[in-house]
Structure 1
Amino acid sequence: MASYELVPFQRFDQVMIVAAIEQQSTLINVGFWVKDPAKRIIWPTQKSDQIREDFLWEKTCFEIFIGIRHQDGYREVNLSPTESWQAYHFEEYRYPDTSPPQVAYDIELVELKRTAYGINTIIDIQPFLSEHQVSMSDIYLGLSAVLNTDEGNVYYAIQHSGLTADFHNKRDWLHQL
């Protein structure tokens, strides 16, 4: 299991996020542990069922980016504390440029649950691997979070190498499976 302390794009010491990744076959288990002692995060209301929903990044949301080594295409998986989720398809950096982005059906949600510490998910990327005829060793991940706080949105990722917070920047996707 690998873990990463996500860092905010701009200084925001009030909240700490640690993300952990565990892989079993084509299943990827990701947990986001959030420490918010001052209760700065505005958490969306939890729903009763797990549904696909667009625009989750407009509120507190956790994200997994899935890239393939030496290929332009990638997937973005949005995970809400409401237990709603969505997966998007990009052929290359932020393309196609539609809002909402094009939905991807080659990422399967196995489990998504809000926990006392944050959020945990298990996704199956077997259909994605088969579609692109690649193996797990060709996959790398980026982990990020949009936190809606009492001071506005704060953007967390494993690293931020650009001049703006840009989760689509593959240079910041550091976890290799």
Structure 2
Amino acid sequence: MSQTFNLCIATETLANDAQQLSVSTDTLHDIRVVVHATIVQQPTLQLQLAYQITLPTQSLADQLHWPTWEETRVGFTDYLWEESCLECFIAGSALDQDSADSSSTAAYIEVNASPDGRYALYQFESYRNPATLPPPPLLLANGRTCAKIDWIDHPDLQMPSVGVNRAHNSSAAHTLYNYKRTFSVPIKERSSQNFAISNMVVEHIHPCVILWFGETALYFAPSHASPPDFHNRRYWTRFDSKAALLNQLASSIATER
């Protein structure tokens, strides 16, 4: 089991978006974006984020910008939000470097990942602060090296797939177009069901997705501000470490048996 997020599409410009893409608004609502957050050991402790995207029509699949994953492209790259981008915002309490104590903070981390392997991790002190573009990178403890993600499950083999969905009590078949990517971010266990990223205890998490179809961008999140703003913490979800841990515990038990 993982903590599962069912992302919904931002609707402020939905009618115009549908017109530009020559589909109905109902078709855009039928796009499914699901993210699973799981704490795994591989071999170090990681927060694994699995993104699954399902498009309901070939027309949308033909227009989607979804670049092929390439090993040579893996590396830190800015401005990924200008393309199809898998994102996650993480916030919590700041850890005291000299003790086990933590304190409230407005700081948060933004993770960006392109389907082709490029990525970026940014550190904000508070809401969109600093406002410079690109934002300052999240650095490791040495203060010089940029933090990174690890790609999982050989994404070079995760080609878009086509599936058939047959409605219950119906002979009608509906073709679906599936896309997925999985990556992980290193974390540390501070105590039982208490995990930290870069001296920040993970308390809130907000996975998001930007999908570009030609010149049209669609925005997906568990819930949206109006207008859409992924950085608005009011709409972030409490991180359920217990749910995220269950999958790892079950795997460990199965391995021991």
TM-score norm. by structure 1 comes to 0.86
- Does residue 120 in structure 1 map to residue 154 in structure 2? no
The corresponding residue for 1:27 is 46
Who is 2:237 aligned against?
174
Offset from partner CA, 1:85-144 (integer Å, 9 cap, x none): 000110000000011111112444232536343110111034x93753x54xx4221100
Q: 2:106 aligns with which of 66, 72, 87?
A: 72
Output the amino acid matched with 2:66: W
Cα 1:104–1:130 shift into 2, 3 Å: closer
| 1:47 has 2:70 as partner | yes
- Match for 1:93 among 120, 127, 131? 127
1:144 aligns with 2:211: no
Cα-to-partner distance string for 1:50-77 (whole Å, 9 max, x where unaligned): 1110111101001011101431001100
The structure whose Rg is larger is: 2
Match of 2:150 in 1: 110
How many residue pairs match? The answer is: 173
Q: What is aligned with 2:221? A: 157
Task: Identify if the C-alpha distance between structure 1 residues 175 and 119 changes in structure 2 by more than 3 Å, giving closer, same or farther.
Answer: farther
Q: Is the 8 A contact 1:111 1:123 kept in 2?
A: no
Aligned counterparts of 2:30 and 2:215: Cα–Cα separation in 1: 11
Q: Which runs of 5+ in 1 are unaligned?
A: none
Unaligned runs of 5+ in 2: 15-27, 94-103, 141-146, 160-178, 189-194, 242-257
Give the structure with the larger helix fraction: 2
- Cα drift, residue 47 of structure 1: 3.1
Query: What letter is aligned with 1:2?
Result: Q
Which residue of structure 1 lines up, in the alignment, with residue 18 of structure 2?
A: none
1:129 to 168, 188, 196: 196
Identical counterparts, % of pairs: 25
SS in 1 for 2:131: coil
Q: Distance in 1 between matches of 2:70 and 2:130?
A: 30
* Contact 1:44 1:59 (C-alpha < 8 Å) held by counterparts: no
Aligned to 2:234, the other structure's residue is in SS state: helix
3-state SS, counterpart of residue 171 of structure 1? helix
- Code of the residue aligned with 2:82 in structure 1: it is E
CA separation of 1:86 and 1:118: change in aligned 2, threshold 3 A:
same
Structure 2 length-normalised TM: 0.61
The DSSP-based 3-state class of the residue aligned with 1:102 is: coil
What's the RMSD between the two structures over aligned residues? Answer: 2.3
In the aligned structure 1, how far is the partner of 2:119 from the partner of 2:8? Answer: 23
SS in 2 for 1:22: strand
